[in-house]
Amino acid sequence: MNIKLSNKELNKINSDIELIVVKDLKKLEKKEQKLLKKVSFDTKAFDTYFHAQENKFFVACSKLKKEDLKLCFSSAIRSIKKLNIKSIKFDLIQNDKELKIDELVEGLVLGEYEFTKYKSNSKKAKKLQITICTTNSKKEEEKLEKELANALAITSSVNMVRSIINTPPEDYFPDTMANDAKNIASQNDLTCIIHGEDYLQTNGMNAMFNVGRASRHESKLIHLAYKPKEPKGKIVLVGKGLTYDSGGLSLKSGAGMVSMKCDKGGGSAVLGIMNTLKALSCEYEVHGIIGAVENMIGGDAYKPDDVLVAKNGKTIEVRNTDAEGRLVLADCLCYAQDEIKDIDYIFDYATLTGACIVALGNETIGTMGHSDKLKAKMQKAADSSGELIGILPFNRYLPKQLKSGIADIVNSTASRAAGSITAGLFLDNFVKKENKKKWLHLDIAGAAYSESPWGYNSFGGTGAGVRLTLDFIKNLDK
């Protein structure tokens, strides 16, 4: 898809069709009102209708802002893709309202996405040319171009994350993720450090090392860093990069293993965020730490009843080898705090618990932490970006469920109650005291992957966490 702005009048722009957003039928010409009423066009259901004789494509939208506008344009582009159309034009002013460039671009680009790499009969996707007429806009052309460029940078990274998540584990493993990190670093002037298993063992990162030791693919600790001149602060992002999770010796069921390529969703989100910072001229220093690991079975697999020593010296009794993501994150959190000083914010992202899906559904990110102020800031970013979060509260009674008879803590509790929260409290053991109020845990288990399309998300990976975090960073000074 190629999106450009034009200051030509709409009727002087050559295009196959004109896209018209319909909020109120009464605003249309009489003949168009009559036509849409005849086909039962619903202005509240993102309905679409193509009037071939006039080369006009109508799409309904009851509210011309935020998620409604994104859903409107995603509905339009999905329908247009089925037509033999190469170019589209529309006016930025619709129903006497100037639409926001970033919102409509998100709808178009995210709605158009499909993952067809492994389809044997897939045709090369036609590149749609989209021209937005800005003649009547009240904003300066340079500002609009900047908004367009930023929106394209963000949506491009989201789609990159989607494709990483959707790639099968035979083709995407820890070394692949490390190579992607190197490419992202090269393209965005980031520093990139990759550590292998020798480093993990030498530096006491035994929790992460043991999760991946039965795999034929070596585990990789990835550290990306974006460092602008005179940064306003320092942000650390930690991602769970389980390129595949069989459950280990606590083997998942056959059905439970299907879609476990999505377990790299947290690490992939960190890659997507780091890929966008330069384009957005981010004024904060940002570090991305990813534990890229494959959890497999075999004679060398770690076992229930094992006791592992994490990087900070905490001992962990393994009760369930399928509670592996928190082990990887534990060491990655320790590494981040040991290597990076004067942190202002530290967020971790992980497809961590099925319990989060039970609690909040398939669209919402479970958010946990000690600071109500920080959670409120993240909620504000969620409202602005369109990603959904739900706050799951810690309490004084749950930590005792993590107590072990032979070690400091267990990696999996005996009770299924509050499974997402106890997983968050497990990670809390690896956050230093001075960073407790700076840390948020984001469980993206439901939001990162879906086998049923929803909103402007297609089947598979969604890129959850990317837009949310970028919006959080963008609005830190407001």
Which is it for the CA torsion 43, 46, 51, 57, positive or negative? positive
Measured CA to CA in angstroms, residue 326 lies from 27, 34, 170, 274, 470 at distances of 55, 59, 23, 22, 24
Active-site entry in 162, 234, 326, 438: 326
Residue 396 CB burial class (10 angstroms; 0-12, 13-18, ≥19): exposed
Position of tokens 């299907």? 258
> How many Å is the Cα radius of gyration of the chain?
24
Lookup: tokens for 446: 């439901």
Structure token pair of residue 212: 């991946």
Ramachandran class of 46: left when φ > 0, alpha when ψ lies in -120 to 50, beta otherwise: left
Euclidean distance between CA atoms 407 and 401, whole angstroms: 13
375 classed as catalytic: no
Residue 115 is classified by DSSP as -
| Closest by CA position to 333, among listed 439, 186, 203, 412 | 439
Give the position of tokens 């075999």: 298
Sequence-separated contacts (24+) of 56-60 with Cβ below 8 Å: 56/17, 56/18, 56/20, 56/32, 57/17, 57/18, 57/19, 57/20, 57/88, 58/20, 58/22, 58/32, 59/19, 59/20, 59/21, 59/22, 60/21, 60/22, 60/23
Residue 11 φ then ψ, to 5°: -70, -5
Q: How many beta carbons lie within 10 A of that of residue 214, not counting itself? A: 19
Query: b/e for 412-440, b at 16 or more Cβ within 10 A?
Result: bbeeeebbbbbbbbbbbbbbeeebeebbb
Reading the block at residue 111, the tokens are 């709605």
CA distance 115 to 335: 34
Closest by Cα among 9, 47, 3 to 25: 47
Query: Which single residue is written with the structure tokens 């990887």?
Result: 328
Q: Which of 81, 146, 232, 252 is catalytic?
A: 252
Nearest Cα residue to 179 out of 278, 296, 286, 271: 271
Three-state SS at 379: helix
Give yes or no for a contact between 61 and 21, defined as CB atoms under 8 angstroms apart: yes
Q: H-helix or E-strand containing 273? A: helix 265-274
Catalytic residue status for 252:
yes
Supply the residues annotated as catalytic: 252, 326
